[in-house]
């Protein structure tokens, strides 16, 4: 049965909400939601606030697991969302706002633009790409946390 536009849009928005629920759970060490919302295909990609580009679920998932292990805490919400749905694919754009903990445990504000791309796979919307603006503040905190774990 072909999905109606309204149903597809509702499913896309629900998947986007699930991503942010999963992202916030990842901040406290729980990867269950990220593993569920992301496609595990070789063509998925991630261009997050730390810079660079990761290709394939193996690399994207491993990077999210590293972040989960650091337990940055805090929460991010998707504000001012715009969504578009087409035939089996859709995307959302928004401003991600919230707080994360830096490497010393202090809250730091987070605010950047984001684009999320989803693909309909076996009747479920799965994320295939996530991209945000670069954040020097988050990148610096990430590097400090990595260096502290190495020492």
Q: What pTM value is reported for the model?
A: 0.87
The C-alpha torsion from 52 through 31 and 20 to 9, rounded to 10°, is 100
- Judged against a pLDDT cut of 50, whether residue 109 lies above it is answered with yes
CATH number at residue 117: 3.10.450.50
Residue 27's domain spans which residues?
5-150
Beta bridge partners of residue 127, listed in sequence order: 38, 118
End-to-end Cα spacing for the chain:
56
Six-digit token string for 27: 């901040």
d(CA 90, CA 32): 23
Could you tell me where the beta strands, DSSP code E, fall in the chain? 45-47, 54-55, 75-85, 89-101, 107-121, 124-132
- Judged against a pLDDT cut of 90, whether residue 27 lies above it is answered with yes
- How many domains does the chain contain in total? 1
pLDDT, tens digit (0-9, with 9 covering 90-100), for 31-52: 999 999 999 999 999 999 888 9
- Judged against a pLDDT cut of 60, whether residue 142 lies above it is answered with no
């Amino acid at each position: 049965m072909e999905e109606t536009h309204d149903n597809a849009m509702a499913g896309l928005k629900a998947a986007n909400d699930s991503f942010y629920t999963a992202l916030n759970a990842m901040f406290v060490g729980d990867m269950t939601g990220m593993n569920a919302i992301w496609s595990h295909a070789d063509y998925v990609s991630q261009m997050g606030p730390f810079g660079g580009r990761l290709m394939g679920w193996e690399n994207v998932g491993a990077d999210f697991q590293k972040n989960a292990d650091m337990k940055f805490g805090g929460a991010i919400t998707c504000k001012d969302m715009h969504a578009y749905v087409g035939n089996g694919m859709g995307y959302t754009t928004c401003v991600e706002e919230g707080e994360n903990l830096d490497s010393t445990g202090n809250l730091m504000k987070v605010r950047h633009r984001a684009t999320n791309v989803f693909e309909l796979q076996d009747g479920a919307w799965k994320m295939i790409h996530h991209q945000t603006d670069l954040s020097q503040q988050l990148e610096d905190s990430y590097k400090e946390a990595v260096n502290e774990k190495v020492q």
